[in-house]
Amino acid sequence: MAILEVHNLESGYGEVQILWGVDMALEQGRLTALVGANGAGKTTLLRTIMGLIRPWKGQVLFEGQDISHLPPHKKADMGLVLVPEGRQLFTSMTVMENLEMGATPRRARPYFQRNLELVFEMFPRLKERQNQKAGTMSGGERQMLAVARGLMAAPKVLMIDEMSLGLAPVLVLQLFESLHKLREVGITTLLVEQNVHMALAVTDYAYVLAHGQVELQGPSRELAKDPHVQKAYLGI
């Protein structure tokens, strides 16, 4: 069953249309990748799904309910959570305060301790740094904190925008490994990545976005063998 569905979604900035009718469905519990070139509309799609940008046309359904026009905080309350591009941490707050902010949705509050343990187990580094100001941390630590803050919301669907951007390969590997833990605890994840090779290797299913539309979709393993994908995105 699809927990998040996007039907014929169109949006953009000002007069400029970016999305030209996107259809997508995230299956419950699955790890899905959204890949595509720079400017294909990946981030715009996430921002439109969350409601940071108003959809011009089309629908977003969450657990079968039309949420197209709800403000982002209502969606976060329902369990649809975005880890935004560029981390967007609360830089003047400590690591712990950022995690506490992550647990803002009412439905996440009873699980605060459990989620905190889960997050500290995934990212032991954050446990050591819990009293440090988020603005003073390294890029990798910030990315961990951004994902961890998203997890504190007890998400049903977690969308992560450009997790690997600007990070050392060792860290990228570590973060991707942590994604499997998300599947174990039953979180549906949408991973938006420029690192197509890596994304197709770790996910179950993938969408390829080009010029604001879904160009290709299918099981990640099959897409990795697709000649067009290999030529256009994998450089093979």
Partner 1 sequence: MALDWTTALSFLIDGLMLGFVFGVAAMGLTLIWGVMDVINLAHGPLIALAMFGVYLIMNFLGLSNPYPALLLTTLLALPVGMGIYYLAVHRVIDAPHLSSLLATYSVNMMLMGVMNAVFGGAPRNIDFSLGSITLFGDIVVPTARLVAALAAVLIAAALYFFLYRTRVGRYIRAVTDNRDAAELVGVPSTTILALSFGLGVLLAAFAGGLIATIFPFTIFDGGRYELKSFVIGVLGGLGNPIGSLFGGLILGVIEGLVPMFLETSWTPVIEFGLFVFILLVRPTGLFGGKS
Residues forming the site for partner 1 (CB under 8 A): 50, 52, 71-73, 76-77, 81-82, 84, 88-93, 97, 100-102, 104-105, 149, 153
Shortest spacing between CB 152 and partner 1, in angstroms: 8
Pairing mode of beta strands 16-27, 2-13: antiparallel
- Measure the CA angle with vertex 226, ends 225 and 231; round to 5°: 100
Helices (H) and strands (E) in the chain, counts: 10, 10
* Residue 145 or 198 with smaller CB distance to partner 1: 145
The sheet that has 157-161: what strands, in order across it? 80-83, 157-161, 188-193, 31-36, 205-210, 213-219
* Residue 52 or 214 with smaller CB distance to partner 1: 52
* Residue 4 or 50 with smaller CB distance to partner 1: 50
Strand pairing partners for 30?
none
The CA distance from 5 to 182, in Å, is: 20
Shortest spacing between CB 139 and partner 1, in angstroms: 17
Shortest spacing between CB 179 and partner 1, in angstroms: 20
* Residue 84 or 140 with smaller CB distance to partner 1: 84
* Residue 90 or 111 with smaller CB distance to partner 1: 90
Q: How far is CA 138 from CA 131, 149, 171, 202, in A?
A: 15, 16, 12, 25
